Amino acid sequence: MATALITGASAGLGAEFARQLADRGHDLVLVARGRDRLEAMATELGAAHGIDVEVLPADLADRAQLQRVADRLSDGARPVDLLVNNAGFGQERGFLSGDVAEEELALDVMVRAVLVLSHAAGRSMRGRGHGAIVNVSSVAGFVVMGTYSALKSWVTVFSEALATELSGTGVTVTAVCPGYTHTEFHDRAKMDMSALPEMLWLQARDVVAQGLADAAAGKVVSVPSWQYRLVTGGVRVLPRRAVRGVSGMIARRRRTVDRSG
């Protein structure tokens, strides 16, 4: 039976990855900061699907705790066949409006942790000749909307580079790049998203199902919806000056809505 390790597994897309993989019969290793939510999920999923669910509480911004997760991925006696790097959070303020420590925290969780865990998993999987890494990125990485865009751009390009390095080894890497998705993500970041048209919202179950299907097919970059495939296709052919202009206009409009609320 295959084993999947999921970071940020206690809520949002991470929890949906856990549910869908459990439904497919995968054993799970669930990683997040809060032990209570993880243990509740482990009990629920284990009972519902007859699988083994391991709980591994860890704050991925803490280097010692991150290393414990990396060590679990490197454990040859308990191989992990699928790594889902999902942990992350939204950022409400502009880069210069907040404390730089918040930016460093985002860098640790959404870049350094992806780097460290992909390194551990990639080496271990390559040695066994099979495995998959799914890095949850974002459509934001194709546009220009603050630090979050920059971080997710790194995740996508890093995934492409690692996929190229692992080509022919039996190990695949997929960057899943959703657009706006109905989860706890924006509420936790205290973002007012009320002005966004409903047609731009995705369902978590659809994002995860398409992301897993694309990963199984060996697709390197997955944009799981026709709306956002149109957006990313357009962004790729537009001059970067135009992309910056449109992104800036959207960001200014969102800040105006936030202040008026």
CA 62 remoteness from chain centre: 18
- Decide the pairing of beta strands 27-32 and 131-136: unpaired
Q: What is the DSSP string of 15-55?
A: HHHHHHHHHTT-EEEEEES-HHHHHHHHHHHHHHH---EEE
Q: What amino acid is encoded at 206 in this protein? A: D
Q: Decide if 148 is catalytic.
A: yes
For CA atoms 193, 89, 221, 20, give the dihedral sign.
Answer: negative
Residues 6+ apart with CB under 8 A from 197: none
17, 142, 148, 185: which is the annotated catalytic residue? Answer: 148
* Cα–Cα dist 194/257, whole Å: 9
Count, residues in the chain: 261
* Cα–Cα distance for residue pair 109/236, rounded to 1 Å: 27
Token pair, residue 73, equals 């991925």
- The set of catalytic residues is 148
